[in-house]
Structures are given as C-alpha cells and as structure tokens.
Amino acid sequence: MLAQTSPVAAQAVATSAPVTDVRYEVTFTRANGERRQVGSAMTFTVGGTDPVILSLPKWTPGAYEISNFSRDVSNFAAEQAGSSLTWDKLDADTWRVRPRGVGEITVRFDYLADSLDNANTWSRTDFLLFNGTNLFLYPEGREFDFPASVSVNTEAGWKVVTGMTSVGARRYTASNYHDLVDFPFFVGQFDVDSTQISGTWVRFATYPSGSVTGGARIAVWEALKRVIPAEVKVFSEVPWTTYSVLQIADPGYGGGSGLEHQNSHVDVLGPGMLGTPSLPSLYAHEIFHAWNVKRLRPADLWPYRYDIEQPTALLWISEGITDYYADLAEVRGGIINAKGFYEATSDKISQVDQLPPTSLEDASLSTWVHPRDGTEYIYYPKGSLAGLLIDIIIRDASNNHASLDDVMRKMYNADYKNGRGFTNDEWWAAVSQAANGKSFADFYSRYIDGREPFPYDRVLPLAGLRLAGDTTRVPQLGIASLQDSAGLRVTEVLAGSAAAAAGVQAGDQLISVAGFKAEDSNWTDRFRARYSREAEGTELAVVIKRDGVQQTLTAHLHFVLRIQSKVVEDSRASAKAKRIRSGLLTGTTN
C-alpha cells in the first residue's frame, strides 16, 4: 500500500460512504451476445445520504498493463426504491452516486464485450468470457475485505464455469474483493469435462464447442496429468480445491496467451497452436503461477491495487522462474525428454542473445510501458535462464542436497503462509541459505541488477552440461513482426533482405508466405522446415494487406547462416555434475 502522507495527496483519494450486503449480477443472454454487451449490476445497502464512490479497476493482475476498462462502460445508471439517483464521475473510472437516504441501491452499466484478451471481456452470440476486474465496481478508499455474491443471469440451457465458490444455481460467493476479481467466468455454449489430478478436480472448458475433441482432448488431459503432479511436488501442497483450464481458440488470434489466477487460468489461442508442443508448456507455466505469483508474490504486489500501476523489480522471479519450472515440469513429468529440455533452454539462450543487453530488474520494472526495442518480454526467457543458473549453483554448493525447489517451498511457507509478499533481500537470503551459505552478491550485481552476459561456460559444467556452437543454414525473409488486433503486422523490414527486395513495407499486414498462413503461430518454423533444402532464389508468394488492399508480392528464397548456442551434455562430466544434472531433470536431491 502507498502511504498518503501529504495533505495534497490525501485530498486526491476519495472515500466512499460505507456499503454493506454487496451483490453483483451479470446478465448475458443471446440478445446480449448479438449486441456484444454484457449487463453488470451492483446492489448494496447504505446508511445515509453520503456519496457512494465506486471505481472500476484499471488493470487485471497478471496482465501488467494499464487497460482502463472504464472505456468499455456505457449506460451507467443508479436507482434507489425504483427511482433513479443523481450521479457524476469523479475521474475517468470513478462514479459518485448520491443516495436519498438509508436503504438499498442498485447501479448498472453495460460493458462492451468485444476484446479478445484474457484480461478483458469477450463475447459471441452464444458465449461470454468475463473478468471481474471489468464488471465489478468497488467502493473507493475502503478496505477490499468485503464479502460479495455474484449471480449470473443467462439462457436456461447455457453453462457457467468459474473457479469461484458456488452457493446455489448460478450463484457464487467470494470473501473479499481481491478474490472476487480473480475468478474469470465462461458463460454460454462450450465443451467442459473434468478429472481428478493430484487428489483434486480439474476442469477443462473449451470454446468453441468442438475445438478440442477426440485425441487432441485426450492429449491435453495427458499433459495436465503429467505437469500438475510435477509442480505439486515442488511445494508439497496443492493450493486449490478445484482447478479450471478455460480455453478459447479463435481464428482472429495469432499465437497464444495465458493469464493465471489462484485456481484457474484463461488461454486464448489461434487455432494454429492447438496440438503443438507449445500448449503443454503454456499450461505448465500458467498452472505454476497458482503458487508463484498468485500466492508467493513480491511485496510490491501485495496487496494488489487496481487504481495504479504496481511495478516490481522482481517480476523476473514471478514470470521467468515460472517459465523455468514450466520446462522442469515438462521434463520431470515426461512430456519432453532431457534433449527436449536442453532444446527449450537453447531456444531461450538464443532469444536473449538476439536482444540488447537488459538487466532482469530493469526489464521487470519496464513491462508496464511495453518497451519497443524488443526487450518487452525478455524477463521470461532471461529470468528462466537465471533460474537454471541459480538452481545449478545451489546444487553444486550443497553437493546436490538442496535445489531451487527448496527455495520456492521455503519462501512459499515463510511469506505466503504468513500473509505477506517477499522482498529482494528475502529471496537472496533463501537462495544463499539453500546454497550452504554461499554469497550471491556478485551474481546479483553482475547478472540480475547488471547487464553482463550470463556465465554459461562457468556454471553449466557444474551440472554436466556445456554450450556447443551449431551453425545452420536457414531461409530468412528479413522482417520483424508483431501480433496486433488486425493480425500479424510487419514492424521492420531488414535492408537488403528478401522481403525488402519483394517490396514488403513496415506497417503491412502479413497474410501468408509461400502458402503458410501468418496467423499460424508456428508458420516460420513450418516455412523453414519446408524450404531449408530448396535452392537459393526460389520464388515465394508473399501475400500482404496494405491500406486494406490485399496484394501478392514475389520474394526470392534467401539463406543466412545462423550460429546458435546449443546446450548439450558434457561427456567429461564428473560424477557430482552427473548427479546434479539428474537431480535437476528428475526433481530430486541427494
């Protein structure tokens, strides 16, 4: 919490009159779906005529960006005993309602449900995804510890799935506002089934109906049954009573994105991602967040605030270390083998190598402004690699008696279980303790606070691994691109590249290359696999859209030599290094 000490700052925070008996109602019928508007109502009791000041969050925890959900609000209205109340706005996302006296008040608004974004609200004629951060107002300047119920008013035959505690037909309850907005909902027609994993029920809900069926659905369940127990083992505890994987596949979306919650996560995917190895990795990442960030969380993010950015220099731990554990859960659960783990690690090394040197702390703090130099998400791969190095150093210093798993479990018990977030000092003290008292001060100043290249040559051999150079000849078009609402947008065309010669320009929307649709998140891999042995100069049709007009350009296949670092097993590894390597891959210590 930020302390408001100066009189000027104190004036800036409005305090609502107290409200009690808070109930929310979400209305989504077929008619709502056709208009892409969802109805939100909040009913509460007041004790007098003092103004009630209600705010809507600016962001959804986990999606570290200011989204200003109030922009999607329309038709705001307030009423008491059947007649409307006077209201005005105090700021862009705060409404001031003037009660006529003691009694019950209902405020309502419509919310535009057309944002295909797991932090937002999105509808089709038969389906709604909503997040409480978009629809549930809170009384400004008051504690967030008020209990509330949620009723969902929808078509009789439609389904409702959420992680929120059910207390009746389409009625749910949460004991405080932080929880209330941490349970996204699926409402409408979609597929859902469930099974028991690690002693708890896990649900898999997929929209549209039929998007994940047969063997593909069995494969998802197989992946969940492998990664969840591997992650539970790190903490020796399942933190949820049920867990829901809520997944949307839509052709309007490129790639894939997940957003974590305490007992669920929401994945939004382009259909091209279904059935790819990226999917188990995404699930493993989001589910690990149930411990790391939803519960074990940097003190800067504890408690969450909804009216302001909450930067933390420790996001690399919450996101990067989570990504490291996604790889570990996959190899420990048997989804990938050791070679697959080395390949995932090698990919991360090359991603980081291609970006400007950026410190993990700086990248963590900067995420809120989405830096445009390519480093916006560097804290994922680089934080993951930091996790690997720290894990190896701990295992080496402790003769493989301890690991990063012990640090995660100890912090979880010491901080989350005591109702608080953790600090940088606490993190490094726990790391050092696991490493038999070894100091990480130098490691921290060079590689976490600093921008020095990671010491792979010194650390990897401690786990019987080393970096080998691997030169490959790869077809290269020579563009940088970014997924936006319209599709894959070309952001940069390399001078002298095949794309430049073909006339591709920055700002073009890329539709397809040599028949490979750009909406498929794996199109570059597929393109390279198909053309790696074709002749230099082979003609390729490049379909783009510029100023709304589709055009087909002709590019000529061009190869570049790529030198990539690959993690491989060290044939000269000592017995100790082999023990560490095996412990890391299997989740064990000696």
**Residue with token string 């100023």:** 547
Question: Exposed e or buried b for every residue in 262-296, given b needs 16+ CB within 10 A?
Answer: bbbbbbbbbebbbebbbbbbbbbbbbbbbbbbbbb
Q: How far is the CB of 323 from Zn ion (least distance, A)?
A: 7
The pair of three-digit structure tokens given for residue 289, joined into one six-digit string = 């967040």
Q: Does residue 118 sit in helix, strand or coil?
A: coil
Residues facing residue 108 across a β-bridge: 41, 77
Q: How far is the CB of 289 from Zn ion (least distance, A)?
A: 5
Q: Rounded to an integer, what distance in angstroms lies between the CA atom of residue 165 and that of residue 263?
A: 11
Q: Are 39 and 1 in contact (CB under 8 A)?
A: no
Q: How many CB atoms lie under 10 A from the CB of residue 89?
A: 11
Q: In terms of CB distance, is 160 or 290 closer to Zn ion?
A: 290
The count of residues interacting with Zn ion (CB under 5 A) is 1
Range list of β-strands (E), 238-388: 242-249, 256-260, 264-269
Q: Is the bond into 303 cis (omega within 30 degrees of 0)?
A: yes
Q: Rounded to an integer, what distance in angstroms lies between the CA atom of residue 335 and that of residue 327?
A: 10
Q: In terms of CB distance, is 51 or 383 closer to Zn ion?
A: 383
Q: In terms of CB distance, is 59 or 138 closer to Zn ion?
A: 59
**Residue with token string 């700021």:** 91
Q: Are 393 and 463 in contact (CB under 8 A)?
A: no
Q: Are 460 and 349 in contact (CB under 8 A)?
A: no
Q: In terms of CB distance, is 148 or 329 closer to Zn ion?
A: 329
Q: How far is the CB of 319 from Zn ion (least distance, A)?
A: 5
Q: In terms of CB distance, is 122 or 325 closer to Zn ion?
A: 325
Q: In terms of CB distance, is 110 or 319 closer to Zn ion?
A: 319
Q: Rounded to an integer, what distance in angstroms lies between the CA atom of residue 41 and that of residue 26?
A: 7
Q: In terms of CB distance, is 319 or 391 closer to Zn ion?
A: 319
Q: Does residue 313 sit in helix, strand or coil?
A: coil
Q: In terms of CB distance, is 182 or 319 closer to Zn ion?
A: 319
Q: Does residue 190 sit in helix, strand or coil?
A: coil
* Rg (alpha carbons) of the chain, rounded to whole number: 26
Q: How far is the CB of 322 from Zn ion (least distance, A)?
A: 5
Q: How far is the CB of 478 from Zn ion (least distance, A)?
A: 31
Q: How far is the CB of 106 from Zn ion (least distance, A)?
A: 37
Q: How far is the CB of 144 from Zn ion (least distance, A)?
A: 23
Q: Are 62 and 55 in contact (CB under 8 A)?
A: no
Q: How far is the CB of 379 from Zn ion (least distance, A)?
A: 10
Per CB under 5 A, contacts with Zn ion among 311-330 are: 319
User: Which residue type sits at 213?
Assistant: T
* DSSP 8-state class, residue 320: I
Going residue by residue from 478 to 507, which x/- string records binding to Zn ion, judged by CB under 5 A? ------------------------------
Q: How far is the CB of 286 from Zn ion (least distance, A)?
A: 7
Going residue by residue from 88 to 107, which x/- string records binding to Zn ion, judged by CB under 5 A? --------------------
Label each residue of 489-510 as H, E or C: EEEEECCCCHHHHHCCCCCCEE
Q: How far is the CB of 494 from Zn ion (least distance, A)?
A: 30
Q: In terms of CB distance, is 26 or 321 closer to Zn ion?
A: 321
Q: In terms of CB distance, is 319 or 519 closer to Zn ion?
A: 319
Q: How far is the CB of 311 from Zn ion (least distance, A)?
A: 16
Q: Rounded to an integer, what distance in angstroms lies between the CA atom of residue 514 and that of residue 520?
A: 13
The pair of three-digit structure tokens given for residue 399, joined into one six-digit string = 């003769």
Please give the residue ranges that form the binding site for Zn ion (CB under 5 A): 319
